[in-house]
Each structure stands twice: as C-alpha cells, then as structure tokens.
Amino acid sequence: MRLSGKVTIVTGAASGIGHATALRFGKEGARVVVCDLNAAGIDAVVSEILAAGGEAVGYVVNVTNKAQIAEMVAGVKAKWGRIDVLVNNAGIVADAQLTKMTEEQFDRVIDINLKGVYNCTRAVVDTMVEQASGVILNASSVVGLYGNFGQTNYAAAKFGVIGFTKTWAKELGKKGIRSNAVCPGFVATPILKDMPEKVIQAMEDKVPMRRLAQPEEIASVYLFLASDDASYINGAVLSVDGGLVI
C-alpha cells in the first residue's frame, strides 16, 4: 500500500478523474475525503471505497464556499487528526469564444477552477505546516500550457493553477510540503459530455496514441505524486496527454 493512513481530500471526487483518484487512493490505504457538490455521487463513491475495504468519508462542499470548506477541514481533523494530501481536482468548463463569452461564464470558471484551488489550499495549509509535511496536487490541463480556442476563462484558470503550484513549491518546500500540477490532455469523463462525436474524434486523431485517456490513467499519476516515490518532486508540471503537446 503506497498511501497507508494518508488522510487525503479529493475535491470533485464524485465524477471522472476525481472519482478514479478517490478509488485508487482508497485501494492504496489512504483515508479518503470525498468532496463534491453532488451528494448522491459522494455517497456512491464513499460506498465503493468502503466496499473495497478502504476508509472514506464524504462532504458536500462547494469549493467556492469558504465556510463549507472550513467545516470539512474541521470535521476531517476531528476524525483523523491530520491532512496529508489535498488533490485540487474540482473543475468545470463554460466555453465560448472571447467575443461571445459572458462575464458570468468567465467568473464562474475562475471562481471554481482558480479561486477554488486557492480556497481549499488555504484551508489546509496551516495544518500541513504544523505537521511539517503535506502534498498539494493541482489539476491544470494542457490548456494551462498552450491555451485553447473557446476557453479564455478555462485557460486563464489553468495557467493560474500552474502559477500557484510553482509559487507554493517555493514558499512551502522548506516546510516539508510538496506542490505539483498535472496537465491532462483529453480524458474520457463526463466533462466532455456536451462535445459532439466529431469533436471527440478530432481529439483522438490529434493524440499520437490515437485515443483519449481513461480517468484511471490520471489517477495513477496523482498516486505517484502523492506517494513517497515522488519525495523530491516539487513544483513539477507533469503532462499526461498521450503525447498531445509534443
């Protein structure tokens, strides 16, 4: 077991990459905090982890809501006494070209994908500093490296997340806390549900491996970065994209 007893919060854990990460971490011995907006989805993931012999607890939390985050952090500390890993995975898309994007679309994506990462990290970092150990993992994207048509808001957030990661790596490294970002390419999750089939096909054609990633293939990278196998990796921005951005 690579994460025995590691108390891990995964945001956006009711679906897609977060779901796969919560399950994988549970199988590797982590005590998993399943955090999401979707209460039914949380219950299903918690049940799945418990059924596999793992430990998990669920919290309905909006990452834009500091009071809800604080309540979750207090609850986790009361239950398990510490927080070892935070996977800042929750994220949405609200795509439109610049000339058509509404301010509401812009603000919603920045609030969740960028400020949500700040909110959750801010809420756990004092605990990690007290422990003199911790791992912060941030979901960026290939869009956070190269931009993308129709994603002014999402690109800004995902570039920003890389800025957080490098800044926190510098500020917190000496306190025993590692911060790293993962940049998935195209992953087969519900976030792609509104994409027409021909757009998905075009995505697959662009990838040298000619397929989308499965969420488990991103979860295994979070597992590596959370584990002691990555004990000297800090401030890294790791593309997991089948060669998309070569």
Residues 106-125 that bind ligand NAD (CB under 6 A): 112, 116
How far apart (Å, rounded) are the C-alpha atoms in residues 173 and 15? 31
Between helices 16-27 and 39-51, what is the axis angle to 10°? Answer: 30
Residues 123-182 that bind ligand NAD (CB under 6 A): 139, 141
Residue 23 interacts with ligand NAD (CB under 6 A)? no
How far apart (Å, rounded) are the C-alpha atoms in residues 244 and 35? 30
Q: Which stretch binds ligand NAD (CB under 6 A): 49-57, 87-95, 121-129, 225-233?
A: 87-95
Residue 94 interacts with ligand NAD (CB under 6 A)? no
The residue written with tokens 């605990």 in the block is 127
Residues 196-225 that bind ligand NAD (CB under 6 A): none
Residue 90 interacts with ligand NAD (CB under 6 A)? yes
Considering only residues 8, 10, 15, 160, which one is a binding residue for ligand NAD as defined by CB under 6 A? 15
154 is catalytic: yes
Q: Which of 118, 154, 222, 232 is catalytic?
A: 154
Paired tokens of 134: 């911790």
Residue 186 interacts with ligand NAD (CB under 6 A)? yes
The residue (of 66 and 82) whose beta carbon lies closer to ligand NAD is 66
Residue 63 interacts with ligand NAD (CB under 6 A)? yes
Please say whether the beta carbons of 138 and 88 come within 8 A: yes
Residue 210 gets which letter from DSSP? S
Half-sphere exposure of 48 (CA within 13 A, CB side): 21
Considering only residues 62, 119, 165, 239, which one is a binding residue for ligand NAD as defined by CB under 6 A? 62
Number of residues in contact with ligand NAD, rule: CB under 6 A? 30
Q: What's 125-186 look like in SS3?
A: HHHHHHHCCEEEEEECCCHHHHCCCCEHHHHHHHHHHHHHHHHHHHHHHHHCEEEEEEEECC
Task: Tell me which residues touch ligand NAD (CB under 6 A).
Answer: 11-12, 14-18, 36-38, 41, 61-64, 89-92, 112, 116, 139, 141, 184, 186-187, 189-192
> Which residues form the catalytic set?
154
